Structure 1
């Protein structure tokens, strides 16, 4: 991995009280990386807290049986974290994705370290430990454990496997290599249970979520001979089927599953009227560049952004951006 391990291990060695955080609307790679890192750091004697801006989504609470995950939404204040001598940001490099935790970091920016695998970045810190070639931040955390010589336990392996498996699309994305499977095997040997994790991730849908899936797919539009697909989710869609905001997670991947699709985009209206954008690509289209048009970023195959404005206008802009990206690669 392309990291300055000696510098990173020196930072860890000089710290005693650590707080870990990640992005809003946390996914398995965010939460799994936090929990895996907490287990590793606690094994070498660190006092560790995990504090996010938002509470853990109900659908992902299974990943935290020891209830290590805390949030500012539960009443923790920035002053409560002033005793921390190291703040590690995992799985994001963007201020906009930190929510209220961004203010905590700004108070103590000199203590901030970023561990991430996304390409784009803001000025969160002067100390970056990033590897855009890593298939998941959980993979980087796994490597940290190796270098600290921490034995894998079930409580470390399970969240790391969850992060690794979800960020590789169940090991089906091009980012999954032979070594990805070897790492996964070691995590399974240490106690991670693929059947349990799969069941918790993919076999817990409510009927309301399935109704939302149906509505989203029914309204999806394809163009460029079926190579591009765009879909939308309005707050009215969520309310009318009785779904929750968390039920919108992973809808983008279902649209990418439509036969022939090479580029997918989805626009999801948020309760505060902002719009969450997600992009996915099977081929040469650069999702990070697409998201960059709207102030976001990510990877070539998967990226996202949060933007503001009239929903219909944003839908028009996203459609035009996807169309332009496709034609740039496939000129008439």
Structure 2
């Protein structure tokens, strides 16, 4: 958490006279959107005007959240996003640890911005900003936003809109409260958010009971050819570009696919490989159990990183070559 003196400095920055912008990472997920909107609604409750900017579009199943329609998508509104960042007095950097994680468009704008920069994030090895609240033991940035509100002694301002957004962020980044980093503190905060108006049944239904036909067809395809190696400890799933196109892929359709590999009895690592829809590289998602560190594995071999049990990567070879390289490298890992 920020020190008491840092909290005092931040409070002085949070005035109606200052222009405030919140930025999340490229390919925003439930925690990125939930934490951003939760913080926006909190700052709005304090009488401040805030813009939320995401580098590119986010899945439809997150667009039910209050305030989602007002998010500035930089890919679609470059001038508006660029001017907001340039003119900002304060920029909150949520759910990512380095400027380049906000993409090739927003990243350079963020680096050049004159604003005071406040990072709140739970990924490893954060870059240096004016104020940094980094804690890799916390399962979601949305939970960190609640702790931040507590430090500001403003829990009384948490309303239904804030509660719904933060609940969604925590729920999605903990895999429905089942990942190892989910703590007793997490559940206490969830209880508080429910008391503030968050409806678990509604949020779960709006977020996860939204399957499209294309998503289910893609899921059927990858589950029908799932491969298990390393004596049953590693599961491999993959999709090619033409398969995505033929089955009418929409953004968010493959969300959570990597977790199916971990549901196989005895697996400790699941890897999901997908050809990018437009460019010649492979998107990779890793998940693991217990102490198997896919963050370091991805950093070492696949140009990525994240958390010990959840990481991403990017590879510039064909999908066949990528999977073969993965098999070779994972066989060398001891677990």
Same fold (TM over 0.5): yes
The 5-angstrom pairing of residues 318-329 of structure 1 reads 318-325=326-333, 328-329=334-335
Q: Do residues 216 (structure 1) and 222 (structure 2) align?
A: yes
Partner of residue 299, structure 2: 292
Query: 1:18 deviation in Å?
Result: 1.0
Helix, strand or coil at the partner of 1:247? coil
Counterpart CA distance in 2 for 1:108 and 1:236 is: 40
1:265 deviation in Å? 0.8
Q: Which residue of 2 aligns with 1:166?
A: 172
**What is the CA deviation profile of residues 16-51 of structure 1, one whole-angstrom value per residue up to 9, with x for unaligned ones?**
211001111111100000001111222223221001
Give deviations 1:208-251, integer Å, cap 9, x for gaps. 11110011112221012211111111111212222224211111
Q: Distance in 1 between matches of 2:29 and 2:159?
A: 22
What is residue 228 of structure 1 aligned with on the other side? 234
- Give the CA deviation at 1:124: 6.0
Aligned with 1:285: secondary structure? coil
1:85 to 82, 86, 89: 89
1:139 aligns with 2:138: no
Normalising by the residue count of structure 1, what TM-score does the alignment of the two structures yield? 0.92
Alignment of 1:123-272 (within 5 A): 123=127, 125-148=129-152, 149-151=154-156, 152-271=158-277, 272=279
My pick for the range that moved more, 102-111 or 196-205, is: 102-111
Instruction: Report the counterpart of residue 309 of structure 2 in structure 1.
Output: 301
Cα 1:5–1:69 change in 2 (3 A) is: farther
1:11 matches 2:16: no
The reply on whether 1:72 has 2:77 as its aligned counterpart is no
1:230–1:319 contact (8 Å) kept in structure 2: no
CA–CA distance in structure 1, aligned partners of residues 283 and 68 of structure 2: 31
Structure 2: distance between partners of 1:218 and 1:235 = 17
* TM-aligned CA distance change 1:219 to 1:64, over 3 Å: farther
Q: Report the Cα distance in structure 2 between the residues aligned to 1:63 and 1:9, rounded to whole angstroms.
A: 31
Select the residue among 48, 64, 73 that pairs with 1:62: 64
Q: Give secondary structure in 2 for the equivalent of 1:295.
A: coil
Distance 1:5 1:210 in 2: 49
Residue ranges of structure 2 left out of the alignment (5+ in a row): none
Q: How many residues align?
A: 325
Structure-2 separation of matches of 1:301 and 1:223: 19
User: Which string of whole-angstrom CA distances, capped at 9 and with x for unpartnered residues, describes residues 135-163 of structure 1?
Assistant: 11001100111222142100000010011
Unaligned runs of at least 5 residues, structure 1: none
Q: What's the offset of the Cα at 1:113?
A: 2.2
CA distance in 1, matches of 2:225, 2:43: 46
Report the 3-state secondary structure (helix = DSSP H, G, I; strand = E; otherwise coil) of the residue aligned with 1:290. helix
